[in-house]
Structure 1
């Protein structure tokens, strides 16, 4: 099955995994809706892709705002007439010991990593039901398989939630809609810069020295998308060969 002409909406598309996925899918002939808060970065990526012949819609979106997420999906369908895949990629990783009680950062991770995914599901599911086809791809983490502690306890909690939500969604949507949870290890992106706790941030930078390129995730996403309609790749775990965790 070809990715060519499939309409793919990607959140967090202004850098890292989202940008790499956009560029990889563009090479495979997809039509793209790119969403993120930083519209200037989205426009730069879109201009580059359009110059190579890709149809691209740019939608400035904060995934913590339900109305903006709904608008994001509505504009995608208005532009292309359908939506085949939504990649719920936007995320925040703020690492710090629980004793630091960085509650504001806990709230942000819950709002982006969990609620942002749920808002994407809530907005896209009616579209997929109407089409009788569609594909949810949600970004979890290896930290959603094993708790990353000390420091990543709350982050792991959000990524466990993404896995649970994706699996439950799979059980509910029936045979026409596909679901995939992507669980990367250390992958080069801006995610590693999300920690305000100095000691934890230094440890994360050290850990990410083994990171693999972000297009590793892009290829995994493409693999899930390109399968025949009756094949549902539910879970993909990938990490550097050197990563023990």
Structure 2
């Protein structure tokens, strides 16, 4: 890495597993204070202990970010604990697939709430602190939004999931244009298929029907995406990695 994160603070949403947990470990290893935000406190406690055992600093925040008040409180708790905020990793999300015709509407509501509203609430609360950090001697702050290949390449059975990720693409670019002149870097990471528990959220009958498509597929690891995110936020202040698509070798998607 060209620079370390010593003296910075990162807030990672969806930190209780998968990409979020791997990213928190990676940022902590680079010296960042890390606020771990998710709903499963037991998983966050385990992750925080791993970070502290390795010599890092972690704060556990149990929060449902689809609640605007709790999203804002998570940001404020981070700032109060560490004195500021330099990096926001918007990773929390769910992927509930299946044909639109037979989809339970509560699944659509859940994806819109977590993938879009929770991210918006957290970003809105974090922006003033990130702008303050970017105006400091470090001269940069970062928002990294974890999107998906589905935001570029919608496929049958992913209509609303792809809708949330395509919308995230648009939000990320528009926000980048708004704040880039004030040294807040806004980046979009778009992973292809990753071996995480995201697939376990899918209804069993839908998952079974789709397993054949992934039977011989190479999947990315959570650590691959964490490495990419860490690369983005450790670039010199003059460098903005605005969009990175990460596919597994041999992927047809």
TM range (shorter): over 0.9
| Number of aligned residues | 243
Distance 2:200 2:149 in 1: 18
Q: Once the 2 structures are TM-superposed, how far is the Cα of residue 60 of structure 1 from its aligned partner?
A: 0.3
RMSD: 1.4
Matched, 1:188 2:195: yes
Q: Once the 2 structures are TM-superposed, how far is the Cα of residue 205 of structure 1 from its aligned partner?
A: 4.1
**Matched ranges for 1:167-182 at <5 A:** 167-175=173-181, 176-182=183-189
Q: Does the 8 Å CA contact 2:37/2:74 hold for their aligned counterparts?
A: yes
Q: Deviations over 1:147-193 (max 9, x none)?
A: 1x211011000000111100000011132110010100011111111
**Matched ranges for 1:72-91 at <5 A:** 72-91=74-93
For residue 23 of structure 2, what is the aligned residue in structure 1? 21
Distance 1:172 1:101 in 2: 36
For residue 50 of structure 1, what is the aligned residue in structure 2? 52
Distance 1:34 1:74, change over 3 A: same
Matched, 1:225 2:227: no
Distance 1:174 1:187 in 2: 30
Q: Does the 8 Å CA contact 1:185/1:240 hold for their aligned counterparts?
A: yes
Matched, 1:157 2:163: yes
Secondary structure in 2 matching 1:23? helix
Distance 2:37 2:93 in 1: 13
Distance 2:199 2:159 in 1: 15
Distance 2:26 2:166 in 1: 27
Q: Once the 2 structures are TM-superposed, how far is the Cα of residue 203 of structure 1 from its aligned partner?
A: 4.0
For residue 111 of structure 1, what is the aligned residue in structure 2? 113
Q: Once the 2 structures are TM-superposed, how far is the Cα of residue 242 of structure 1 from its aligned partner?
A: 1.8
User: Which segment drifts farther, 89-98 or 48-57?
Assistant: 48-57
Matched, 1:141 2:143: no
For residue 125 of structure 1, what is the aligned residue in structure 2? 127
Where does the alignment leave 5 or more consecutive residues of structure 1 unmatched? Answer: none
For residue 213 of structure 1, what is the aligned residue in structure 2? 221
Q: Deviations over 1:201-244 (max 9, x none)?
A: 12444427521211000000011000011211101110111211
TM-score (norm 2): 0.92
Secondary structure in 1 matching 2:42? helix
